[in-house]
Structure 1
Amino acid sequence: MMKIRTKRILLSFLSLLLLLMPIAVKAESTDDMYYVKDEANLMSEEEQKELETKLSTISDYWGEDVVVLTVNSLEGKTAEAYADDYYDMNGYGVSGRNGGILLLVAMDDRKWHMSTGGECISIFTDAGLNYMQEQFKPSLSEGDYAEAFNTFADLCDDFMAQAEIGEPYDTGNLPKEPLSILWYIGAVAAAFLLAFIWGSIEKGKLITVRESQTASDYAVAGSLNVYNSHDQMVRTYVTQRALPKEDSSSSSGSSTHTSSSGSSHGGCGGSF
């Protein structure tokens, strides 16, 4: 009788354990859905936490995963293949989300690559991705990695907001960079300098001018003669020209490729 009771208690315990396992797995899965994976230790712990918070907020708001990954080595793969495989194998762009973008930085190879999936392929066009790398790559080259990754995050937020209104950034429709305050100061200084030079030259021309007492002294001889005249139209000409066609190159769109897992990805990459 004691053995039966012991077995029942054990079975009840096992049943309870099995019941709680999905909850534990779900919690573990949620914890594992990180947006910053700094395997190359390029940032301080505080910088990682701040970036994780920013990327998590952007990802939750737009419903698209925005990820930063740093590694020491590509392990024999190309940067594109490594980024695509990591994106696919770690479940980004799934679990209710429509897509995502991942920025990979590999230190040994000094390579970077952005991989896009799902809806983010159309949100981040080829021209848009090229614009983005021009903004964050200088910081990468200078070793200011936290600044580069935060610039990437801010750009992702901006690009998704632009796509929300139905006009993703693309060729001929890229963000306008604000002019530096130094540019304004230089422009004003140049205008004053040119005005001073022009005024000095014109003033120099007036040295030999003397005031006259009568208006006739200012008239050029023969300039006020008036003659009868009339115009007669003998023929007309009509000039025709074709209206310029819309430039098809104003929208480059997004090129895609297939990863080793068979998923479709967009993206671009290079060295830093």
Structure 2
Amino acid sequence: MRKRDRIFIAPLLAVSLLFAAAPTALAAESGEQFVFDKADLLTTEEEDELNDMANNLAENFNMNFVILTTDDAEGKEAEVYADDFYMDNGFYDDGKDGGAIYIIAMDNRRVQVETVGDMKVRYITDDRVDGIIDAGYEDVKDGAYAAAFEAMLNATVDYIEDGVVDGKYTYNEDTGEYDYYDTGKEIRQITLAEFLIALGIALVAGGVAVSCVIGTYYLKWGAYEYPYKEKAKLKVSRKRDDFIGSHVSHRHIEHESSSSDSGMTTTHDSSGGGNFGGGGRDF
């Protein structure tokens, strides 16, 4: 190849490489970072897949879904470490409606879920936190950390789509304050007149029932006595039972666990001034 041809082709090749790399760079900047694998529990592919999933959920629900692992919680409990990380990285006041952070702390051997905003106030109760952890707990114990995070994210979405439970309220364990969520449903209260009418009807109905029972026992208020001596009969027969053997069958009866939700979300104040719900479990 002549020198003049090489001089002409080199700039074209550089431009081609620049355009080829551009989609990759744009793709990397197209979403937020929600996965922070400080303990190196995930492969690069797993990080990318979970980050894409978190970005899709953030776009659909306008909330943060932060995934965090650590093998050094800096001497803090997993709850405190997660709360501080969420606030220090700007997720708490980024303009979204709320969110959650899912952490696997290897030094504490604990899986923790912390919630803020609408996630805390509306959707995720204490009972639902337990359900989220249940969804990924066995995978955490088995070391399948990516599968655990995916299962917990999916469980969270299911609860959001289920909506607000009846009687939803938050209880701040630091201040002792209760805050009841307003569902917008009108609560029907009876008036004093309605109460008195209902009370009168109940008293009349109860009086009639009691009178009927008393009348039945006294047989129309008389002193009638049953002639048991004349009408009684006694017949005795003899019977012999021989014990031959026995056979015992055992059957396990399954008991369904209660699916009721108390509606309570226990919250706590973080050192950074935020307020979080959530819970965790050792593994």
TM tier, smaller:
0.5 to 0.7
User: Which residue identity is paired with 2:65?
Assistant: V
CA distance in 2, matches of 1:94, 1:161: 24
1:269 aligns with 2:275: no
- What's the TM-score once normalised by structure 2's chain length? 0.55
> For 1:237, which of 196, 200, 213 is the aligned residue?
213
Q: CA deviation at 1:168?
A: 7.5
Partner-residue secondary structure (3-state), 2:40: coil
> For 1:251, which of 242, 262, 281 is the aligned residue?
262
1:158 aligns with 2:158: yes
CA distance in 1, matches of 2:37, 2:61: 23
CA distance in 1, matches of 2:160, 2:263: 18
Deviations 1:134-185 (CA, angstroms, capped at 9, x unpaired): 121111001011110110111121122122xx43798xxxxxxxxxxxxxxx
**Which runs of 4 or more aligned residues in structure 1 lie more than 4 Å from their structure 2 counterparts after TM superposition?**
none
Q: CA deviation at 1:31?
A: 7.5
1:167 aligns with 2:176: no
Q: CA deviation at 1:118?
A: 1.1
Partner-residue secondary structure (3-state), 2:271: coil
CA distance in 2, matches of 1:267, 1:261: 17
Q: CA deviation at 1:250?
A: 5.1
Deviations 1:10-66 (CA, angstroms, capped at 9, x unpaired): xxxxxxxxxxxxxxxxx9xx7794111111111111111111111110111001101
User: Which residue identity is paired with 1:141?
Assistant: K
Please provide the CA RMSD for this pair. Answer: 2.4
Alignment-derived partner of residue 137 in structure 2: 137
Alignment-derived partner of residue 35 in structure 1: 34
Runs of 5+ in structure 1 lacking a partner? 1-26, 171-234, 239-248
Partners of 1:162 and 1:169 within 8 A in 2: no
CA distance in 2, matches of 1:168, 1:106: 33
How many residue pairs end up in the alignment? 168
Give aligned-pair identity as a percent.
30
Runs of 5+ in structure 2 lacking a partner? 1-25, 169-210, 215-259
Alignment-derived partner of residue 52 in structure 2: 53
Q: CA deviation at 1:101?
A: 0.3
